Amino acid sequence: MYTILDIETTGGKYNEEGITEIAIHKFNGHKVVDKFISLVNPEKEIQPFVVNLTGINNKMLRTAPKFHEVAKRIVEITEGSVLIAHNAQFDYRILRTEFNRLGYNFERKTLCTVELSQKLLPGLESYSLGKLVRSLGIPVTDRHRANGDALATLKLFKILLSKDLDKTIIKSVVKAETLGELSPTQLSIIDQLPTETGVFYFHNKDGDIIFMGTSTNLKKKVNQLFIKRGNQARKLQKETKKVTFEKTGNELVALLKLNEELKHNKPKYNTSQKKTTFSHAVYQAVNTEGYITLKPSIANGSESKVTDFESFQTANSFLHKINLEFKLCDKLNGLSQARQNCSKFNDGNCAGACIGKEAVIDYNQRAKDSISKYSLSSKSIIISGKGREIGEYSVILIKNGVFKGLGYYDLNHQLNNMHILESIITPMKSTVNSIYIIESHLRKNTKMKIIELKD
């Protein structure tokens, strides 16, 4: 027995959505034997974009039953069946969340028509419900309303059943295997995680770390990993018995912790982390006229390196940015192939270094300023950012271009006294990867406070 489900929600933050409409069709493999369709009062405001999408507004729901008033009917109609939905994990998570608020543990096996379509209808451009029903010629009315989408999903599921010559769907139900369903243990793990920034650790039965990663929303990221498809993902999910975490307060600290701790723990499922995170760099040189030039190239370990990048395109984009910011010459930096002056000379954004009109000393000072701003080379600085709680701040220590480590402080004297500062930070090894992580993050994030250390 199957129950075809579709839910419309208020939208909003993860796990804070409310149900506005629900449609369930009980299907025995041949015909619909029962159905339940209802608006639901979510007891919260609907996001404006959802109102525009579904046509359901707050006024329509004022007299609708609340979820606790329809909960018993949902339990009864889905009892002993497999939930079928397009992107089943979303609808199932929303239902479980609502039942959890009532103190009831709602558990059902699920099948996802997105995944089934990808297997049984390979090669399609898109597997969204709208494009699937159009490509299959399925008539549909009331798109983005629960009953309209549920009926469309039901018609799609019937086609998938007929195409399933290997009887994969039926076998999966008979064997009680669940696609897209979280185990009670995994749900308990997710419930205990915060929605904050940090590093998470997957442990096996022996407590060993088998996978680790970072996120600005730990709960959401771990949930995504628990519902991810593929053989490797399934192995990780099966082997994970516990998830621990450390809040870091900001993303840069999380990335640096991960970079360091991967070397110490070598988790078996972190194979992708072994790859070098950058491939190109911007290098400085001096041309025959004495002007400093900045040009991107494949990373080669040269001491003339300014800063690293993950691709030639990002290095090139960075050059365009600093040329504008510091009024550097496109021709000198290889961004213009003009025979005479570069185009920026005509509009006043280049002082004429390209044709020898600007004094070398003036131009080179701006070039050095750009290097100083975006490169850690030879710098001695403290990078301060948001901490793990109110009143606390993170600190990253760089000395003579070498990354020394990171930690947290809540009193200014801890920051101003180098002996104390060095005692509270966790020492970490300075590598090309750690320097790249810091430089690339600072290029994108201006919220971090940079303090120059005095000699």
Model pLDDT for residues 212-271, shown as the tens digit of each residue = 999 999 999 999 898 887 788 888 998 998 888 889 999 999 999 999 889 888 899 987
Model pLDDT for residues 285-333, shown as the tens digit of each residue = 999 999 999 999 888 877 788 898 888 999 999 999 999 889 999 999 9
Radius of gyration of the chain (CA): 29
Task: Name the CATH code of domain 184-266 (choices 3.40.1440.10, 3.40.640.10, 3.30.565.10, 3.40.30.10).
Answer: 3.40.1440.10
What average pLDDT does the chain have?
87
DSSP 46: P
Torsion of CA 129, 134, 139, 140, to 10 degrees: 40
360-374 and 432-444 helices, crossing angle to 10°:
100
Helix, strand and coil percent figures for the chain, each rounded to 5: 40, 20, 35
* Contact status, residue 333 vs residue 295, Cβ threshold 8 Å: yes
Read off the tokens for 336.
């213009």
pLDDT bracket for residue 177 (50, 70, 90): very low
pLDDT at 338: 83
pLDDT at 402: 94
Fold observed for domain 2-174: Nucleotidyltransferase; domain 5 (3.30.420)
Span 391-397, mean pLDDT?
92
pLDDT at 175: 46
* Contact status, residue 417 vs residue 454, Cβ threshold 8 Å: no
3-state secondary structure at position 16: coil
Distance CA 293, CA 334 (A): 8
Distance CA 156, CA 149 (A): 10
Q: How far apart are the first and last CA of the chain?
A: 75
pLDDT at 100: 92
Between 194 and 230, the higher pLDDT residue: 194
pLDDT bracket for residue 104 (50, 70, 90): very high
Read off the tokens for 139.
């008539």
159 Cβ contact partners less than 8 Å away, ≥ 6 residues apart:
136, 138
Highest mean pLDDT among 38-47, 293-302, 409-418, 420-429: 38-47
Locate the domains of the chain by residue range: 2-174, 184-266, 280-374, 381-452
- Residue 391 confidence (pLDDT) above 90: no
The pTM of the full predicted model, rounded to 2 decimals, is 0.59
Read off the tokens for 419.
């002996």
